[in-house]
């Protein structure tokens, strides 16, 4: 989910007609074929607060993903993005603007 937020998923609103991508056929989500291989490491622990001493996991790994991707792009090209997803068009536009302003990218 974090990769989707950072790189693809965006609700596009068109004035007068509503949302352009109001269904799965137009909403750009990652599919299994788009995802990198992910190694999962399970660590056993006993959490006295959780039910049956369980710890939650699911969305906790999603929280740092989008900022990590945005920071990696900033480290690579020197441009900090405040809006996402980082579509190729947005990145290229930012690079071209930086070059117009004298940046050596």
CA 44 to chain CA centroid, Å, is 28
Of the listed 14, 59, 82, 89, which one is catalytic? 59
* Other Cβ atoms within 10 Å of 92 Cβ, number: 10
- Catalytic residue flag (residue 10): no
87-31-61-77 Cα dihedral, nearest 10 degrees: -20
Q: Are strands 13-14 and 18-19 parallel, antiparallel or unpaired?
A: antiparallel
Decide if 99 contacts 105 (C-beta within 8 A).
yes
Q: Name the residues annotated as catalytic.
A: 59
């Amino acid at each position: 989910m974090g990769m989707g937020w950072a790189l693809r998923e965006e609700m596009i609103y068109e004035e007068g007609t509503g949302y352009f991508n109001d269904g799965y056929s137009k909403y750009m989500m990652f599919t299994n074929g788009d995802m990198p291989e992910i190694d999962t490491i399970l660590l056993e622990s006993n959490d006295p607060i959780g039910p049956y001493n369980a710890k939650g996991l699911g969305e906790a790994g999603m929280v740092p993903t989008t900022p990590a991707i945005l920071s990696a792009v900033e480290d690579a090209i020197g441009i900090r993005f405040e809006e996402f997803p980082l579509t190729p068009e947005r990145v290229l536009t930012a690079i071209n603007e930086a070059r117009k302003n004298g940046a050596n990218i």
